[in-house]
């Protein structure tokens, strides 16, 4: 067929304008696919952060809030719950394992997590991966500390280094107890989860940090010595949250009800998967907003394409008259312009798709390292194919506008085109 | 070629209309059409080529009343049977000379067959060398890069390829200087003689008249009316 060939040659001939138009469409499609990939990546990263845990327990609060502070270390717990309650949970016959966390302290902007060595063996992330030690081992001594991968990398800590942990969550703790330093006993391999940005100590160590702080005010005087602390019975009094693995998933909802109605203390138990769904229903509004914006960016690019074709149309009246003279019908002229729009749409879309994947391949590892969001480079799925198909369809439909104008012109023009 | 009781008026212009009672050209005749600017010569050619259709009347070309054809049949008829040459800018600039010459064949299968079918390109190359353009140099050259005189000669080849019965030319020499005019007319006459087609050409240049079988003044065949004061082109 001569018409598609003409369309292609005409576009190749027009150079700059066409390249820019295609580039615009490509950028917009890149954005469209990119936003979608990031959305997917965020979701699967969030979901991957709590793989293998059946229930999360904390003081009474909304399930999303509990998820956010316990798993993602975003925001603060409204309250802690007592060690007695924790022990009762641990002793429950349906519970296979339990890992407590005690939050509230920090080191140079990174959170310090009090926990048990089970933390390193029971918790799973991303498709059921277990944590791995890049160096060293879990804490054994009271003043041992285990660093997440990003903490070690950002602050340049090595095995055996001494670290001072402050009370509170400020980036610079005013009240650091320089006389009670911790020693780095282990550094975890990267997980792509908030674990990378945490420092881990034993529950007893959390108590140790808080010796002399019981009154609530800033301690005065020299403070209790390390030796004296070591001699103390550092029984934890509270924990912030606990991750539970059950013997059988069938008991999940029964146990959840039991915990939610716990008589001695106001507790909440959440099923991570369900809490995530609730979280998505909140973030969906933002995602939808973002998607609408990207759709408008695509529309803008397509309108730009129509404007370009329309602008060139007047200069091409001659060309159309020549085509009519050699026997082309107005319908051929119509087809020529639609074909040009489709070509630009297809080129832009494919280029944009390639660009998006190239960007993910290039920037993906860096994004994973700094945000813990793994962008997958799977072959384009039905979703991407549908989006790209829609963009091309939109380009074709938009191409009808200049095509119709050219059609009308070619009906109205005689052999002598008058400009 | 035979026009009978044809009436046409432009829709978009200031009421320019043209009426032709009778205008006929014999097969193989060469006719020069003359007339003042804005008198409707190009309009008449557009009617004959079937690019525009008359509101009434009969336009018979080789026995077919093209005014009665469906638009798509009319376009096909033009592709098969008529070669058109304009004043200037006859070629599509982004196509090569060869592609420009072969262009009508894409819309006219019978004409393609007459042009040798798959051999059409070879035939076009031979034609190129006959008008003084080395096919090895020019066949693949983008038409936009040719001089105006060269372009007009290539346009002749495009009009003539596959031997359509009727050649219509609208002031094809007016954009050329004297030397190129002569070259153009020589090529046109020679090729038409070879093909044995009918030629209708508009020109202001009466010095070309001896090359034609007869000269027709538009006023003698057509009545032109302008309803509201027209801004003549
Ligand atoms: N495409 C068009 N749409 C509307 N009106 C037109 C169109 N082409 C020509 N006309 C009108 O038809 C009239 C005749 O124009 P035409 O081009 O046929 O004259 P012409 O004899 O070829 O003139 P010239 O010698 O200058 O080429 C003009 O008044 C012009 O305004
Ligand atoms: Mg004219």
- Classify residue B63 as exposed, middle or buried by CB count within 10 Å of its CB (0-12, 13-18, 19+): exposed
Ligand nearest to the CA of B233: 1
CB burial readout A189-213, b (16+ within 10 A) else e = ebbbbbbbbbbbbbbbbbbbbbbbe
Confidence of residue A301 (pLDDT cuts 50, 70, 90): very high
Atom of ligand 1 nearest to the CA of B41: 21
The pLDDT, as a whole number, for residue A219 is 54
Going from N- to C-terminal start, the domains of chain B cover 27-50+74-217
ipTM of the complex model = 0.91
Query: Where do runs of H (alpha helix) occur along chain B?
Result: 41-49, 71-81, 97-102, 109-114, 120-130, 135-138, 148-160, 178-195, 218-221
In angstroms, what is the C-alpha Rg of chain A?
31
Closest CB to B84 among A9, A10, A415: A415
pTM of this structure:
0.79
Pick the CATH number of B27-50+74-217 from 3.40.50.300, 3.40.50.10800, 1.25.40.10, 3.90.870.30: 3.40.50.300
Mean pLDDT of A334-350: 95
**Looking at residue A126, what DSSP letter applies?**
T
Q: What is the pLDDT of residue A334?
A: 95
Assess contact for A3 and A336: CB atoms under 8 A.
yes
- What pLDDT is stored for residue A178 in this prediction? 52
Run of H or E including A136: strand A133-136
Q: Is A415 in the pocket of ligand 1 (CB under 6 A)?
A: no
Q: Among A13, A326, A329, select the one facing B104 at the smallest CB separation.
A: A326
Q: B45 phi and psi, to 5 degrees?
A: -65, -40
Mean pLDDT value across residues A137-165: 90
pLDDT range class, residue A171, cuts 50, 70, 90? very low
| Mutation site, A13, A316, A327, interface B, largest B CB count within 10 A | A327
pLDDT band at A214; cut points 50, 70, 90: low
| pLDDT at position A384 | 85
Distance between the two ends of chain B, CA-based, in angstroms? 27
Looking at residue A54, its pLDDT comes to 92
Cβ–ligand 1 distance for B17 under 6 Å, the answer no
Q: Does A320 touch chain B (CB under 8 A)?
A: no
- Which of A325, A334, A410, A417 has the highest number of chain B CBs within 10 A, making it the mutation to test binding with B? A325
Contacts of B233 in chain A (CB under 8 A): 416, 418
B71 and A328: CB-CB below 8 Å?
no
Can you tell me the distance from the alpha carbon of A401 to that of A399, in angstroms, rounded to the nearest whole number? 5
Residue A125 confidence (pLDDT) above 80: yes
Question: How many angstroms separate the CA atoms of A361 and A67, rounded?
Answer: 31
What does the pLDDT read at residue A179?
58
């Amino acid at each position: 067929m001569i018409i598609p060939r003409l369309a292609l040659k005409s576009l190749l001939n027009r150079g700059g304008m066409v390249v820019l138009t295609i580039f615009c469409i490509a950028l917009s499609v890149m954005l469209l696919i990119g936003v979608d990939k990031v959305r997917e990546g965020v979701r699967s990263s969030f979901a991957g952060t709590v793989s293998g845990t059946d229930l999360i327990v904390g003081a009474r609060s909304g399930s999303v809030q509990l998820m956010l502070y316990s798993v993602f270390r975003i925001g603060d717990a409204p309250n802690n719950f007592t060690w007695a309650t924790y022990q009762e949970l641990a002793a429950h016959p349906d519970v296979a394992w339990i890992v407590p966390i005690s939050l509230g302290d920090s080191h140079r902007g990174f959170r310090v997590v009090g926990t048990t060595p089970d933390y390193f063996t029971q918790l799973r992330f991303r498709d059921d991966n277990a944590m791995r030690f890049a160096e060293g081992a879990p804490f054994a001594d009271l003043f041992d500390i285990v660093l997440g991968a990003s903490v070690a990398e950002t602050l340049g800590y090595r095995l055996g280094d001494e670290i001072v942990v402050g009370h509170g969550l400020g980036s610079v703790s005013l009240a650091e107890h320089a006389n009670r330093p911790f020693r780095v006993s282990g550094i975890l391999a990267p997980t792509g989860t908030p674990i990378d940005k945490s420092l881990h100590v034993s529950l007893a160590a959390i108590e140790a940090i808080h010796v002399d702080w019981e009154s609530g005010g800033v301690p005065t005087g020299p403070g209790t010595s390390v030796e004296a602390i070591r001699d103390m019975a550092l029984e934890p009094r509270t924990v912030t949250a606990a991750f539970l693995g059950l013997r059988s998933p069938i008991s999940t909802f029964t146990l959840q009800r039991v915990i939610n109605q716990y008589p001695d203390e106001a507790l909440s138990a959440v099923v991570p998967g369900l809490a995530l769904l609730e979280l998505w229903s909140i973030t969906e509004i933002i995602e939808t907003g973002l998607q609408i914006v990207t759709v408008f960016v695509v529309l803008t690019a397509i309108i730009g394409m129509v404007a370009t074709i329309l602008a060139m149309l007047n200069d091409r009246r001659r060309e159309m008259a020549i085509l009519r003279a050699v026997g082309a019908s107005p319908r051929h002229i119509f087809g020529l312009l639609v074909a040009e729009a489709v070509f630009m749409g297809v080129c832009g879309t494919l280029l944009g798709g390639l660009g998006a994947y190239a960007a993910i391949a290039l920037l993906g590892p860096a994004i994973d390292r700094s945000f813990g969001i793994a962008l997958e480079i799977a072959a384009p799925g039905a979703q991407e194919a549908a989006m790209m198909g829609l963009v091309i369809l939109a380009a074709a439909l938009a191409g009808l506008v200049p095509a119709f104008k050219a059609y009308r012109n070619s009906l109205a023009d005689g052999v002598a085109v008058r400009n | 070629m035979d026009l009978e009781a044809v009436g046409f008026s432009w829709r978009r212009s200031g009421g320019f209309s043209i009426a032709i009672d009778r205008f006929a050209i014999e097969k193989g005749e060469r006719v020069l059409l003359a007339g003042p600017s804005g008198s409707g010569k190009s309009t008449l050619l557009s009617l004959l080529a079937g690019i525009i259709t008359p509101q009434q009347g009969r336009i018979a070309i080789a026995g077919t009343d093209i005014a009665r054809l469906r638009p798509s049949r009319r376009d096909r008829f033009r592709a098969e049977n008529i070669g058109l040459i304009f004043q200037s800018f006859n070629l599509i600039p982004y196509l090569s000379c060869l592609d420009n010459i072969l262009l009508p064949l894409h819309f006219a299968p019978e004409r393609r067959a007459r042009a040798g079918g798959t051999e059409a390109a070879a035939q076009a190359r031979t034609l190129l060398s006959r008008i003084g353009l080395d096919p090895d140099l020019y066949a693949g050259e983008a038409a936009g890069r040719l001089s105006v005189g060269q372009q007009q000669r290539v346009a002749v080849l495009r009009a003539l390829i596959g031997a359509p019965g009727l050649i219509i030319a609208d002031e094809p020499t007016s954009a050329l200087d004297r030397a190129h005019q002569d070259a153009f007319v020589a090529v046109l006459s020679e090729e038409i003689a070879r093909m044995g087609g009918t030629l209708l050409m508009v020109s202001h240049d009466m010095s070309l008249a001896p090359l034609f079988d007869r000269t027709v003044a538009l006023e003698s065949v057509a009545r032109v009316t302008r309803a509201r004061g027209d801004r003549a082109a």
